[in-house]
Amino acid sequence: MPNYKNQQTAHTNSSSINRRRFLTFLVHGGWLAAMGIFVYQMGKFMGARDVLQTGPEPIVVAGTTNEFPPDSTVYVSDAQAWVHNDGRNLQALSAICPHLGCLVQQKEIPNTGYQCPCHGSRFGPHGELERGPAERPLRPLDIQTTENDTVLIRT
Ligand code: FES
């Protein structure tokens, strides 16, 4: 006489193992998916940071002195810098906002300072911090004029 009770138990155990395997598969798959999303988001974040931190070359040829006339402020894109000629000297400021790295623009009135289009930080004409959220002034850069009137900026 067949033992139906044992067959039913065996069947129940077998379906229980399949259910357990399936649930294990779902849990592990969920973890893998979550890890994949996490790694992808971290990669995007790190990539964005790399883009923000990719800066200009260490020394940039900004042009010749006649490209920076007295009382002018000129943007040098290769250096990501603003160069101001006050009539006596050239001064260079990094255009990279010390808050999160956007490029600052001149204020509406030229030669009065800079403002950040991203979160509204404002800086005076010499890069001094006027309003946050940035907590530091714009970084001054080394600028030199060679004997043949070439302007070099160390970024
Ligand atoms: S990046 Fe300039 S204020 Fe935020």
Which atom, in ligand 1's list, is nearest to the CA of 132?
Answer: 3
Q: Closest residue (by CA) to atom 3 of ligand 1?
A: 119
Domain span at 140: 59-154
Domain co-membership, 137 together with 70: yes
- Predicted pLDDT of residue 21: 73
Q: Closest residue (by CA) to atom 4 of ligand 1?
A: 119
- pTM of the predicted model over 0.75: no
* Confidence tier at 7 by pLDDT (50, 70, 90): low
Q: Which residues of 40-66 are buried (b: 16+ CB within 10 A; e: fewer)?
A: eeeeeeeeeeeeeeeebeeebebbeee
Q: How far apart are CA 101 and CA 99, in angstroms?
A: 6
Give residue-wise pLDDT tens across range 116-155.
999 999 999 999 999 999 999 999 999 999 999 999 999 8
Q: Closest residue (by CA) to atom 1 of ligand 1?
A: 100
Residue type for position 7: Q
Q: How far apart are CA 55 and CA 74, in angstroms?
A: 18
Q: How far apart are CA 143 and CA 151, in angstroms?
A: 7
Find all residues with CB under 8 Å of 80, minimum gap 6, and list them. 55, 56, 94, 95, 96, 103, 155
Please determine, for residue 26, whether its predicted confidence score (pLDDT) is greater than 90.
Answer: no
- Predicted pLDDT of residue 42: 53
- Of the three residues 54, 69, 99, the one that is the final residue of a domain is 54
Domain co-membership, 127 together with 108: yes
Residue 80 backbone class (left: φ over 0; alpha: ψ -120 to 50; beta: rest)? left
- Predicted pLDDT of residue 40: 52
Which atom, in ligand 1's list, is nearest to the CA of 101?
Answer: 1
Give residue-wise pLDDT tens across range 29-69.
666 666 665 555 555 444 444 445 556 668 899 999 999 99
The total number of structural domains that make up the chain: 2
Domain co-membership, 143 together with 85: yes
Domain co-membership, 135 together with 88: yes
**What's the CATH number where 123 sits?**
2.102.10.10
